[in-house]
Structure 1
Amino acid sequence: MAVPEPTDGAGAVRPGPVPRVERIALTPEAARLLERLAGIHGPLMFHQSGGCCDGSSPMCYPRGEFRVGSGDVLLGRVGGDTPFWISASQYAYWSHTHLTVDVVPGRGSGFSVEAPEGVRFLIRSRLFTEEELADLEAEPPLPSGTERLRP
């Protein structure tokens, strides 16, 4: 479902950025873990590469410790203001799906900040509805790693 346009309370649409279809979300468990990890490590970011060796799991890093490249796409922000980046090649596979970050027991990659906690982040997905797909087609392209974004 499309994110509703912001209004002024009287029904008039407020000027501002065009709302986008939500592409990425957190489960409540993942949101709690992300908040706790941010308290330890400071502002965080996610990156989903889709490669081997845990590359199919989202990696969580202190913001700025992973360099986003021109081949990365910003899917959105989760947990308030945590950017979630995905490699362009992985995005090509998952562009028709809504992704949800979950957390499960087990050790993931040693590079992701949740690894010492005995849990790992995991992606769950669902196909976008026909309505969401139509809304997505009308949206401008997602920001890439070549664009200057606030951290």
Structure 2
Amino acid sequence: MSQARLDAAITRTGEDFSRVALTPEAVELLRKLWAQHGPLMFHQSGGCCDGSSPMCYPAGEFITGDSDVKLGLFDISDRLQPQPLEFWMSREQFNYWSHTHLTVDVVAGRGSGFSVEAPEGKRFLIRSTLMDWPV
């Protein structure tokens, strides 16, 4: 029996639903990467090529600001110590994707050299589905 996806805690004021989730495979890889790099974060920009994939960085290495939206907060801990991981998206990209639920998954292959999973021979990707509730 496979595990269910991990939904992020809600971080957007006035919303009562999670906008982003992780597959069990993504959680497993993130725990491994956390052990190697320490606290992590995701940022989803936009554009083509690697810009369309979620990028995973050591927490604080990618500076966020008013041009970004925090879509969720995960706790990927598998022991007593919390392992919080924020998921950010550029505000411009959020304007396009505001009616979708995002699930971060893992596939074989190399993504960007800037994302911490690149040396693992895997890359994160987004699977999106249209939401059936008003936003």
Q: TM-score, normalised by structure 1?
A: 0.73
Which runs of 5 or more residues in structure 1 are unaligned?
4-16, 137-151
Match status 1:47 vs 2:43? yes
Q: Against the structure 1 CA distance between its residues 104 and 79, is the aligned structure 2 distance closer, same or farther, given a 3 Å change threshold?
A: farther
Percent identity between matched residues is: 65
For these two proteins, the number of residue pairs brought into alignment is 117
Q: Which amino acid counterpart does residue 103 of structure 1 have in structure 2?
A: V
Q: Where in structure 1 do 4 or more consecutive aligned residues deviate above 3 Å?
A: none
Q: Which of 96, 101, 104 is residue 98 of structure 1 equivalent to? A: 101
Structure label with greater radius of gyration: 1
Deviation at 1:66, TM superposition (A): 0.6
Aligned match of 2:16: 20
Structure 2: how far apart are the matches of 1:79 and 1:98? 18
**Secondary structure in 2 matching 1:110:** coil
Per the alignment, residue 125 of structure 1 pairs with: 128
Unaligned runs of 5+ in 2: 1-6, 8-12, 77-83
**Contact kept in structure 2, 1:34 and 1:79, CA below 8 Å:** no
Map 1:16-95; keep pairs closer than 5 Å.
20-80=16-76, 81-95=84-98
CA distance in structure 1 between the partners assigned to 2:97 and 2:14 by the alignment: 22
Q: 1:70 to 1:18 in 2, by over 3 A?
A: closer
Q: Which amino acid aligns with 2:60?
A: G
User: What displacement does 1:79 show?
Assistant: 4.1
Cα RMSD over matched residues? 1.8
